[in-house]
Each structure stands twice: as structure tokens, then as C-alpha cells.
Amino acid sequence: MSAITRDEVVHLARLSRLALGDDELDHLAAQLDQIISAVARVQEVAAEDIPPTSHALPLTNVYRPDEVRPSLTPEQALAGAPAAEDQRFRVPRILDEEA
Amino acid sequence: MSTPTVMKFDEALAKFEPVLGIETHIELGTASKMFCGCATGFGAEPNTQVCPVCLGLPGSLPVTNHAAIEGIIKIGLALNCEIVEWCRFARKNYFYPDMPKNYQISQYDEPLCVDGHLEVEVEGETYRIEIERVHMEEDTGKSLHVGGATGRIQGALHSLVDYNRAGIPLVEIVTKPITATEDKAPLVARAYATELRELVRSLGVSDVRMEQGSMRCDVNVSLMPRGASEWGTRTETKNVNSLRSVERAVRSEIERQAAVLDAGGTIVQETRHFHEDSGTTTSGRSKEEAQDYRYFPEPDLVPMAPSRAWVEELRATLPELPAARRRRVQGEWGLSDLELRDVVNAGAVDLIEDTVKAGADAATARKWWMNELSRRATEQGVELAELAITPAQVARIQAMVDAGELNDKLARQVFEGVLAGEGAPDEVVAARGLKVVSDEGALSAIIDQVIADNAAVADKVRSGKVAAAGALVGAVMKASRGQADAGRARELILEKLGAS
Amino acid sequence: MSELVKKTAAELGSLIASGETSAAEVARAHLDRVAAVDGDVRAFLHVDGETVLAQARKVDERRAAGEELGPLAGVPIAHKDVFTTTDMPTTAGSRILEGWRPPYDATITARLRKAGLVILGKTNMDEFAMGSSTENSAYHPTHNPWDLSRIPGGSSGGSSAAVAAYEAPLATGTDTGGSIRQPAAVTGIVGAKPTYGGSTRYGIIAFASSLDTPGPFARNVLDAALLHEAFSGHDPMDSTSIDKPVPPVVEAARRADVAGLRVGVVKEFAGDGYQPGVTARFNEAVELLESLGAKVVEVSCPNFSYALPAYYLIAPSECSSNLARFDAMRFGLRVGDDGGRSAEEVMALTRAEGFGPEVKRRIMLGTYALSSGYYDAYYGKAQQVRTLIARDFDAAFGQVDVLVSPTTPTTAFPIGERADDPMAMYLADLCTIPANLAGNAAISVPCGLADEDGLPVGLQIMAPVLGDDRVYRVGAAVERALEDRWGGPLLGKAPELAEAAK
């Protein structure tokens, strides 16, 4: 049985904002299936009562003081922009408000 | 799409019980942004308050603003929340052009503040709103939609994005479901937003200006048929940016949902947008399209573990909160519940209290703010606090009245002058020549003339009809263009007519 | 070839300091070497001679003006293209960032400049540091100077190749699952992964934030320690940066003794899948340590066998989020913006065209692992494995001072061999991943050539968090003993590269 269906791969591509062609989806589906089957080994570990680790080191409470530092100039900020207009980043039309 | 029909509010309430939930976003007024040192001022030129961090440039990393965490803890404490001992930021992943990293640094299952409450009053009844959580996150940039109608997103050809707002600290306050409000639901929602705004403003951590977007409400509404035990499907109305709109959005959603349900339809779980102009909501993106935010702990930020000592230190800095303050001023100023409510609704508590601090007595301070100045604020279409007069100036004008230098009528002229920008009260008095005529000689001469001009009335007074003297006093005031001291004029008239 | 390019960084530093040569002269010698061999090696993505000479002259001026400069002032360095640089493009080996000029320097870039190092150019890498061969670069593969048909390791393969080919005495790298140690091992040089948080990530284009660790490459342990010291230390711009003194790595590299030290051999990192030549050189290195006075014991770390699957869940999950910002809106490539398409469509087209296959694979895998419904079974479990691995390390370091293993199970494999077999490629990181998951310090030092192919083998030395000095101390001791045996550095046995005519 496959670990992941092709439909799921299509869904993941949409979630990941990757416009993939059919061939690429087929190829990826097979590879992801193989990889997911392999990494699923983590589920063998008896992990009752084992706390998860999200950070390599147990640091806490790292803050900076509320001080203003120099910003970029608008020219610097926009220098790498694919398109700019009126000192703003110009982007293609946006389909909908974020839900 | 056909215009959804609505059911009359009373009818809707007869058939359904509303359940509310309110999510409020408040921008904190820190000097710098949440995770970088960029300034936060409102209204700056586009993309002048941005850096690699808040633009989400490759390689940049966030560092948490200490003052923002202080701010949210203060809000949590003021809302009677528990401040957790350990929590993390999480990434909320979704693609959107105004969000530089395409994830928002937020908090997911480990909010900083949990389980609070806020009491609000509606028409003499107290409602306890339970607070589920208060968490810290960052704001997004702002898009300008070009090429469509009136700047709307629909039909726009492209958009222009300004990231000045991206990364401004945002506190999200989420209520638990608010039930049993019945036909007061819209008012309770509004009262909650009002009270929350007052509370946060009193803490000094945000300017909470809904018109500038530093406080924004999302309103969840669902309806449950009478007799049912399960809540209905809810909608989330976004973009509710005034207190009045909070009330209207709840009312409009109740009316709309009731009509849909009554016609045998079902409510779609979705985001709706509120329109100030029509007071109604329209459908946004359906939630069924499955936003899968793929939250996970933010690896670039370390966990927060606010020490109990720090929390207590912050608790000790909390000012008197609005509810306690209202109870206190009600006692001190001797107000009835109704009078207190009027003062609160007018946003006059601070103003009156500051006027009293500046030397006026409470009754006259309240009188000026609630009558004369409220009227003028309404005329100008502004909030009371936005009038161009300070509590100290109000106190000064009243002091002149108390000293007999002005009467109420002249005082109103002084208010008018101050509000018109003619200067401080004393300058207005001097420039307009507004002084009570207290020169006995001048007053006496006016009175003699008035008695001569009104012989018939004078005779009535002489014959003992003292009440008739009022007409003579009025004539004296008219003749003196309001500058006479009415009390003194009355005494002199009665004296001259042997009726004293 | 100028004799200058064979010098160590420490030697160059003192030659420049004493005025026997200048930074400009050293820079020119290295630029010549790059011109001569990089056509074959292809270690660099960007070299601009003018910028290099300007930096070198500035160092010479600073020195002339009496400024007190560090031991590496004037020494050239190859800089991995994952660090932002204001005066050179920064692409992370990806098409999506082609030509991008960052408006800011990474903290490490700034520290290199401050220490007077001369940045020769930006080195090739697997796209976004995802890979073990540098074949995943969007631009071109890099070739192993020992055998140009083989991979130089990855993801920091441009850096390892540059150092091994005498194009630079020093290089920077980043190590997320072994991306410094494995390339160092397969090119016969030294590469260290500092303690996570010991060296700052600010300005490093993120792959997996909780694992990424910048570190040094050099041809000997002391040089690596000097570079480590030059760019490490607390950075207020990185919340995960450790606010403590840098462990005394230079002193440890000079000390280079292991007498009385307890060394643990990781039992799990041997057997099937390990090339015999790798196993043989590793075993000899262990015997060598014993002969130098170390106490060697075998140590079991039972959960290390789960490190690889856990890593291939955690790293892709973080990368799926970290790489979301490459969306064609604010910087980088934009594809398909014909005025009609929506932002959403342009994002998806750009990402499909701008990212290579391995990056897409990992984004998809990470998106999957974080999805609602799968989170607990995959990402959640992997995080628990992470805890278990840290506990294995804790238990081991209760018994021994350092752990040793082969750095990678095989020597450099031929270019193309594993290119479309991700699972085979992932095995290259088998032994290096545990230290990333736990945040430990680790190093790879050359320990000989495999008999069957004559290619370099690396010895990995691991120490606890903030025990960086220990790995340098042990590494330097092994290096000294082996160089005595070999009569010089292992790299001396590498074939001479043909120099292209000027």
C-alpha cells in the first residue's frame, strides 16, 4: 500500500504553491512514497512520556530592548523587487482577502 | 449571487438563540516592531519603516521585543488571565502577498495568557465575558488594490504593497463562546469591545484607535434553534472597525442567518466581510477550502518563561482599571447609575476627573462636559476628547464663574472662543471683552432705565408681585448684552422698588 | 603555482603581519590559483578580482595605519553562497535567487571583514544547502580535487573543494545534517560543526533553523580553530545564539593531546553500508588514539539509528516554512506575470521553475509532515526522537569525554551516481546527523585514504554542547600523529591539478 496517494501529492503541491506538471507529480509521488515509508520508522520508537524537542538548546527568555534602529532606505528595500511602483512593491492581482 | 433576505431581529430572536465569539486584534504602541528595530509610527511614507527582518529577506531572524511582552502580560493581567509559566511562538503558515515570510509568527496551542474574564454592563445588567486566550503575534503589510473599483480587491489589476505595518506587535484576545445574551447580543458585543478598548487604553500599551486599525474585531456568530442543544455553524465576520459596526455586524448576521435557517438552508462556515456603508456582511472565502496552517514551534525564537516575580512586578504597575474607577467616581461624584452610564458612554470619565483635579467641583465639571461640550462635539462630529479644549481650561472657566467674573452665558461664549482657537480662556475673555458688569453705578443706571421703560411691570413689583421682577431682570440682561450679574441685578431692582 | 597558496592560514597571517608579504600579494596568488584550476574544480559561483584586491588593499592600509589586526588579517577565505554579502550576489545555489544583491551582510560576513579576512568569492553549494554532493546546485556541479569525476561532498562542496584545491586556505560552510563534516571528509580536509548557537545564523539563508550551524573549513585543525574563533560568539540578532564565551578552541588545537581522555566508539555506526576502506582507516584512528594515551571504550547510542528518519522529517518541515518567502513578491525570480495571472498563480509558477527537484521534494515532504492529521505521526514523533537522541548523548558523555565514528560511510562517490536516488544520497549523513539534532560540537579530520579507491576518509569527533575545545584538541592530536606518520598533510598525497594557462 502506498504511504501517500497521488491526490495527496496534488494537494501538497497546491499547499506548497508549486505549479507542477503531471510528469513531475508522478515522479515526485513515487519518490515521496518511498521517503515517507522510510521516515515512518520514527513511529517505531516507543515514545510514551517522551517530551518533544523543538530547539537544540534549552534557552529561554531572549529579548531585545524596545529601541528603534535604522531601517533600510526605500531604495534599498525595493532594490531587489521584481516590480515596484509608487515606492511600493508591485504584485499581481490578489484573488481574495486572507480567510 | 442573490441578495440574502433577512428576518426581522425580534422574530429571529423568537426562533433562535445567538451565540457569539469575538476575536480582537490590538496593535501595541511600542517604539519598535515586534521582532526588529524598525519604527512603528502610523502614517509614514510607504516602505520607510522596513528592514531585512520585517521584509522577510532571506537570512534575517526575529528577536522578541521585551516591551511587547510586558504589554501583553499587562493586558492578560487586566483581563484576569493566568500568565503561563512557559510557552512558545509558533509559525502559522499560509501564502499571502502582504505577509513577508508567508508565515506569521504567532502562538498556537501555547498562548501566553489564558482563562480570563471581563465584565460588561448593558442596560443595568452585568455580563461576564470569559476570555479563552490572549496571545502575541505580528501584523501584516498593507495592500493597495489598483485598477478595480474604489480600491476593492475584486476586479483589481494589480496591488501595491507597503510593509511598514508588517511586524508591528499584535495582541489577539479571544473570548469563549458568549451565550445567553438573547436580544442584547449586539449590545453585549459592542459593550465588550468598548470595555476592552477602555481597559487597554487605561494600561497605556496601545492607542486602540479602531479608525486607524490599531484595534480590529472579528465577530463570530451562530444561531441555535430554540429548544436545540447544539450550537449552529458559525460565521466569522472580519473587518469590523468601529464600535457601532460591532453591534451592527452582530445584528445583521443574526438577521441573515435566521432567514437562511428559517428557509431550510444551512449556514456555511466561512469568513464574511462587513461593509460600513450598508451595515451588512458578504461572503468571503469558504473555510471548507481548508486552510491548513501547519503550525509548528518557531525554531528561530526560544521559549518564553516569564518569571513569577516579573509577572507580579507588572501586576503592581497596573493602573486603576476602568471598572474600579467607575465605581469610585460614581461614589465620589454622587452619580446615579444612569448618570454614570451617560458619562461613560460619552467617554467623559477622564475628562471630568482631570477637570476636577484642575480645581473644579465634580458637578459643574460634569455639567460642562456632558451638556455644553457634548453638544459641540456632536455638532463637530468628533469624540469629546478630541475637542480643542483641555480639562484645565474647563476648570479655569468655571473658576471665573465661581469668582463672579463670568456668568454661565458668558462662560459659553468663552467655550466657543477656546474651541474656535482664539486662545486660552483668559485670552478669550480679554479679547472679547467678556466681563460681568459688576460696576454698581453702571448697573444701577441700566436698572433705572429699565424701570422707566417698563413702568407697568415695575408697579406690579411695587405692589408685592415679586415674581414679576424676573421680566425686569431679563430686560437688564438684554440691555447689558448678558454681561450683568443677574443675581445682583435682581437684588438692586427689588431694593429700588421697595420690595426687598 | 605560487608557494603562498600552499601555506596555512596561520602562516599567511604571520607573513602578512611581519610585512614579509602583503594581503594584496596573497590575494593575487589565490586569484591566480582560482583562475588556473577553478575551470575544472568549479568551486566558485562568483569571484570578482577587483572586489577581492580592494579588500586586500584595505587590510594593508589598516595595518599601515597602525590598526591592531587579528591573526587572520589579510588571509583569503572562500565564503559559502548561503551567507548574505552586500558586495557580491547571494544565491544559495538557487535559480530563484539568481543575481540577488542583499542589502545587508550576514553577521559572520561582517565579522570576517572586521577580522580583516579577504573574501575571495562565493562558493557553490547544493541548492538551499539541501544535498550531500553539490550536484543540487542550480548552476553547475563542483568536482572533487582528488578525482574530478567525483563529488566534493555537500552541501558545502564548493567550500571544501576550494580549500582542498588550494584556491583558499579557509572557507565557511553551514552544517545542517553534516554539510561541513561530510564534504571535509571526502576532500581530505578539516571541517567543524560548532555547538548550535555558538556561531550566529543571522544572514544565513535558512534551510532548517533548529539545525543550521555555520562553521569553518581549513587544511589543518589550528587554522579551523582560528577561523572558528574569529567568527563565533554571541550575536544579539540571533535569538538562539549562546550568550557565553567561545570555548577556547585555538588553545585546544595547540595543546593537541589526548592523554587520559576517555574516547567512546559509537557502536551503531559500523557494519553494513560502511565501505571497508573507511572502516579500516577508522579502526586505525581509534588504535592511534589509544596509543596516544586515550582510554577507548565502546558506547551504545541505541536511538541513533532513528536519527536519519527523524532528520528527514524535521529538516524538510522547517524548510517548507523557511522557503515559503521565496514567492516572487519582494525579491528574486518572478515567472509568468503577464498582467492576467493572479499573485497566487505567479507564486506557484515561479516556485516550480525557480526551485530544483530536491528542494521541491523536501518542501512537499515537510508540508506533508506538518499537515493536520499527520503532524503527530511524523513531525511530532521526530521531535520525540530528537529528545531520545539528546538523552543518548547525555548518557554517553556521562561515560566518555568524546565520541568518535567515521564521518560518512563511504568515500566520495562518482558524480551522477546517487543524483536521482534520494534515499541513497541521504545515507551520506548517517553519522553526522545526531550531532545536529542534539546541537553538539563535532569535527571531521582526515584519517587516511581508503585502500580500494585511494580517496580520503574522515574521522568524526563529537563532544557535548559547548565542548568545542575538546573536538579541536582530539582532532589536533590525531592530525599531529598522522602527519608524523605520513610525513605531512594527507592533502599532500592528492594528485596535482592541471593548471590552465593564463
Rg from Cα positions in chain B: 30
Q: Find the closest chain B residue to C91 by CA distance.
A: B58
Which of A77, A98, A99 has the CB atom closest to B50's CB atom?
A: A77
Q: Is C193 a catalytic residue?
A: no
pLDDT class for B500, splitting at 50, 70, 90? low
How many Cα atoms within 13 Å fall on the side-chain side of residue C45? 33
- Report pLDDT digits (tens) over C411-460: 999 999 998 888 888 999 999 999 999 999 999 999 999 999 999 999 99
Q: Between B20 and B482, where is the model more confident?
A: B20
Q: Find the closest chain C residue to B163 by CA distance.
A: C330
Indicate yes or no: CB of C317 within 8 angstroms of CB of B97: no
Average pLDDT over residues A11-28: 95
In contact, A18 and C360? CB cutoff 8 Å: yes
Indicate yes or no: CB of A80 within 8 angstroms of CB of C332: yes
CA–CA separation, B68 and B138 (whole Å)? 11
Which of C103, C331, C367 has the CB atom closest to A12's CB atom?
A: C367
Q: In what order do the strands lie in the sheet with B142-146?
A: A84-85, A88-92, B158-162, B142-146
Answer yes or no: is A10 within a domain: yes
Which of A65-69, B411-415, C4-8, C138-142 is predicted least confidently? B411-415
**Which CB contacts under 8 angstroms, 24+ apart, belong to C371-379?**
C371/A12, C371/A15, C371/B292, C371/B294, C372/B292, C372/B294, C375/B294, C375/B296, C377/A40, C377/A43, C378/A39, C378/A40, C378/A42, C378/C313, C379/B296, C379/C313, C379/C314, C379/C317
Kindly tell me if the per-residue pLDDT of C496 is higher than 80. yes
Cell of C375: 503532524
Answer yes or no: is A95 within a domain: no
Which of B134-143, B183-192, B299-308, C421-430 is predicted least confidently? C421-430
- Report pLDDT digits (tens) over B12-36: 999 999 999 999 999 999 999 999 9
Question: Residue B304: how many CB atoms within 10 A of its CB?
Answer: 23
Closest CA of chain C from B92, distance in Å: 9
Range of the structural domain that residue A15 is part of: 6-41
Indicate yes or no: CB of A88 within 8 angstroms of CB of B66: no
| Active-site residue, from C94, C132, C133, C155 | C155
Look at residues C156, C108, C110, C112 and name the one whose alpha carbon lies nearest to residue C132: C156
Cell of B171: 495582541
Answer yes or no: is A24 within a domain: yes
Closest CA of chain A from B351, distance in Å: 31
Q: Which of B324-333, B465-474, C117-126 has the highest mean pLDDT?
A: C117-126
Residues in A closer than 8 angstroms to C331, CB to CB, are 80-82
Among residues of chain B, what percentage have pLDDT more than 70? 96
Kindly tell me if the per-residue pLDDT of C103 is higher than 50. yes
How many residues does the structure list for chain C? 502
| CB-based contact, B285 to chain C, within 8 Å | no
Kindly tell me if the per-residue pLDDT of B250 is higher than 60. yes
Q: Between B275 and C297, where is the model more confident?
A: C297
Topology adopted by domain B440-496? Arc Repressor Mutant, subunit A (1.10.10)
Identify the pLDDT of residue B14. 95
Closest CA of chain A from B340, distance in Å: 38
Cell of B126: 452585568
Q: Between A3 and B80, where is the model more confident?
A: B80
Answer yes or no: is A51 within a domain: no
Q: Is C179 a catalytic residue?
A: yes
Question: Which domains are assigned to chain C?
Answer: 3-303+387-493 (3.90.1300.10)
- Report pLDDT digits (tens) over B417-466: 999 999 999 999 988 888 776 677 788 888 989 999 998 999 998 888 88
Identify the pLDDT of residue C459. 98
Kindly tell me if the per-residue pLDDT of B141 is higher than 50. yes
Question: Residue C223: how many CB atoms within 10 A of its CB?
Answer: 28
Identify the pLDDT of residue B149. 64
Which of C328, C349, C439 has the CB atom closest to A82's CB atom?
A: C328
Average pLDDT over residues C28-48: 98
Identify the pLDDT of residue B1. 43
| CB-based contact, A19 to chain B, within 8 Å | no
CA–CA separation, B397 and B358 (whole Å)? 11
Identify the pLDDT of residue B124. 83
Domain spans, chain B: 9-313, 320-432, 440-496
Indicate yes or no: CB of A15 within 8 angstroms of CB of C371: yes
> Among all chains, which residue has been given the C-alpha cell 597571517?
C13
Identify the pLDDT of residue B286. 57
Average pLDDT over residues B461-474: 88
Based on the structure, what is the number of domains in chain A?
Answer: 1
| Average model confidence (pLDDT) across chain B | 92
B and C: number of Cβ contacts within 8 A? 103
Indicate yes or no: CB of A16 within 8 angstroms of CB of C361: no
Indicate yes or no: CB of C422 within 8 angstroms of CB of A91: no
- Report pLDDT digits (tens) over C228-275: 999 999 999 999 999 999 999 999 999 999 999 999 999 999 988 999
Closest CA of chain A from C191, distance in Å: 20
* ipTM for the predicted complex: 0.97
Among residues of chain B, what percentage have pLDDT more than 90? 69
pLDDT class for C57, splitting at 50, 70, 90? very high
Kindly tell me if the per-residue pLDDT of B288 is higher than 50. no
| CB-based contact, A82 to chain B, within 8 Å | no
- Residues 114-173 of chain B with CB under 8 A from chain A are 143-145, 147, 153, 156-163
Average pLDDT over residues C301-322: 97
Q: Find the closest chain B residue to A90 by CA distance.
A: B160
Indicate yes or no: CB of A50 within 8 angstroms of CB of C387: yes
Answer yes or no: is A21 within a domain: yes
Answer yes or no: is A28 within a domain: yes
| Average model confidence (pLDDT) across chain C | 97
Identify the pLDDT of residue A99. 36
Answer yes or no: is A11 within a domain: yes
Kindly tell me if the per-residue pLDDT of B4 is higher than 60. no
| CB-based contact, C86 to chain B, within 8 Å | no
Provide the CATH number for the domain around residue A31.
1.10.20
Residues in B closer than 8 angstroms to C329, CB to CB, are 97, 161
Question: Residue B121: how many CB atoms within 10 A of its CB?
Answer: 17
How much is the pTM? 0.90
Kindly tell me if the per-residue pLDDT of C291 is higher than 60. yes
Chains touching A, CB cut-off 8 Å, 3+ pairs: B, C
Indicate yes or no: CB of A39 within 8 angstroms of CB of C312: yes
Q: Residue B423 carries which side chain, given as an amino acid letter?
A: G
| CB-based contact, B292 to chain C, within 8 Å | yes
Q: Residue C364 contacts by C-beta under 8 Å, 6 or more apart in sequence?
A: A9, A12, A13, A16, A18, A28, A32, C320
Average pLDDT over residues C399-419: 96
CA–CA separation, C207 and B428 (whole Å)? 68
Identify the pLDDT of residue B481. 81
Q: Is C160 a catalytic residue?
A: no
Answer yes or no: is A34 within a domain: yes
Report in angstroms the alpha-carbon separations of B220 from B137, B252, B387, C38: 20, 12, 35, 63
Residues in A closer than 8 angstroms to C462, CB to CB, are none
Indicate yes or no: CB of A96 within 8 angstroms of CB of B285: yes
How many residues does the structure list for chain A? 99
Closest CA of chain C from A1, distance in Å: 17
**Which CB contacts under 8 angstroms, 24+ apart, belong to B426-430?**
B426/B396, B429/B400, B429/B405
Average pLDDT over residues B344-359: 91
Q: Between B5 and B319, where is the model more confident?
A: B319
Which of A55, A59, A74 has the CB atom closest to B48's CB atom?
A: A74
Look at residues C480, C439, C471 and name the one whose alpha carbon lies nearest to residue C177: C439
